[in-house]
Amino acid sequence: MRLALRELRRRPGRFAVATVILTLIALLLMFLGGLLDGLLASSTGAYRAQEADLVVYSSEARDSLVRSRIDGDVRADVEGVEGVAAVGGLGSVQLGGRPGGDPGSKDLVATVLFGYELAPRGLPDVAPPQGTVVADAALQAEGVDAGTTLLLGPARTPVRVTGFVDDTRYSGQGSLWGSLGTWRAVTRANRPGEAVGDDVVQALVVRTEGAAGVPAAIDAATEGATDSLTVAGAIEALPGVSEQRATFNQIIGVTVVVALVVVALFFALITVERTALYGILKAIGASGPTLFVGVVTQAVVVTLLASAVGAGAAVSLDAAIPPGAIPFEATTGRLTSSVILLLVAAVAGCAFSLRRVLRVDPASAIGTGG
Amino acid sequence: MTDTPALRMDGVRKTYEVGDDEVVALDHADLTVGSDEIVALVGPSGSGKTTLCSIAGGLLSPTEGSVVLAGDDISRYSARQLTDVRRTRVGFVFQSVNLVPFLTAREKLVVVDELAGRKARRGDAGRRADQLLEELGLADRAGNTPAQLSGGQKQRVAIGRALMNEPALVLFDEPTSSLDSKLGEQVVELIREEMKSRGTAAVMVTHDDRITHIADRTVTIEDGHIAA
Q: Do the interacting molecules here have an ipTM over 0.95?
A: no
**Each residue of A81-114: pLDDT tens digit?**
999 999 999 999 999 999 987 777 778 899 999 9
pTM to 2 decimals? 0.80
The whole-number average pLDDT for the span B86-101 is 81
Q: Choose from B49, B115, B122 for mutation: most chain A CBs within 10 A.
A: B115
Pairing of β A157-165 and β A149-152? antiparallel
Q: What's the confidence (pLDDT) of residue A210?
A: 82
Q: What's the confidence (pLDDT) of residue A368?
A: 47
Find out whether B50 and A283 touch, Cβ atoms under 8 Å: no
- φ, ψ of residue B141 to 5 degrees: the values are -110, 10
Distance separating alpha carbons of residues A350 and A37, to the nearest angstrom: 30
Distance separating alpha carbons of residues A342 and A255, to the nearest angstrom: 9
Q: What's the confidence (pLDDT) of residue B166?
A: 87
Q: Is B222 on the interface with A (CB under 8 A)?
A: no
* B41, B42, B45, B50: CA torsion to nearest 10: 0
Find out whether B29 and B12 touch, Cβ atoms under 8 Å: yes
Q: Contact B111/A368, CB-based, under 8 Å?
A: no
Q: What's the confidence (pLDDT) of residue A24?
A: 94
Write the DSSP string, A127-140: PPPTTEEEEEGGGG
Handedness of CA A337, A342, A347, A349 (dihedral sign): positive
Distance separating alpha carbons of residues B188 and B50, to the nearest angstrom: 20
- What long-range pairs does B212-215 form, CB within 8 A, spacing at least 24? B212/B40, B212/B42, B214/B38, B214/B188, B214/B189, B215/B38, B215/B39, B215/B40
Q: What's the confidence (pLDDT) of residue B170?
A: 94
**Whether pLDDT at B171 is above 50:** yes
Side-chain half-sphere of A149: how many Cα atoms within 13 Å?
Answer: 10
**Whether pLDDT at B1 is above 60:** no
Count of Cβ atoms closer than 10 Å to residue A181 Cβ: 14
- In what helix (H) or strand (E) does residue A310 lie, and over which residues does it extend? helix A288-320
Find out whether A87 and A74 touch, Cβ atoms under 8 Å: no
**Each residue of B30-72: pLDDT tens digit?**
999 998 899 999 988 888 888 999 999 999 999 999 999 999 9
Q: What rounded mean pLDDT belongs to chain A?
A: 91
**Whether pLDDT at B181 is above 70:** yes
Q: What's the confidence (pLDDT) of residue A216?
A: 95
Q: What's the confidence (pLDDT) of residue B119?
A: 61
- Bigger pLDDT: A368 or A117? A117
Q: What's the confidence (pLDDT) of residue A369?
A: 40
Q: What residues of chain B lie within 8 A of the CB of A7, using their CB?
A: 102
Q: How far is B219 from chain A (nearest CA, A)?
A: 14
Beta-sheet strands, E only, within chain A: 54-58, 84-99, 109-116, 132-136, 149-152, 157-165, 174-178, 203-208, 226-230
- Name the residue in chain A with its Cα closest to that of B82: A285
Q: How far is A369 from chain B (nearest CA, A)?
A: 5
Distance separating alpha carbons of residues A218 and A201, to the nearest angstrom: 17
* pLDDT class of B202 with cuts at 50, 70, 90: very high
* pLDDT class of A240 with cuts at 50, 70, 90: confident
The whole-number average pLDDT for the span A227-241 is 93
Q: What rounded mean pLDDT belongs to chain B?
A: 87
Count of Cβ atoms closer than 10 Å to residue A195 Cβ: 15
Q: Contact B53/A276, CB-based, under 8 Å?
A: no
Q: Contact A363/B59, CB-based, under 8 Å?
A: yes
Q: What's the confidence (pLDDT) of residue A370?
A: 43
Q: What's the confidence (pLDDT) of residue A306?
A: 94
Q: What's the confidence (pLDDT) of residue A273?
A: 87
Q: Is A291 helix (H, G, I), strand (E, B) or coil?
A: helix
**Each residue of B95-123: pLDDT tens digit?**
765 568 889 999 989 888 887 665 666 67
Distance separating alpha carbons of residues A214 and A205, to the nearest angstrom: 13
**Each residue of A143-187: pLDDT tens digit?**
899 999 999 999 999 999 999 999 999 998 999 999 999 999 999
- φ, ψ of residue B172 to 5 degrees: the values are -110, 125
- Bigger pLDDT: B3 or A28? A28
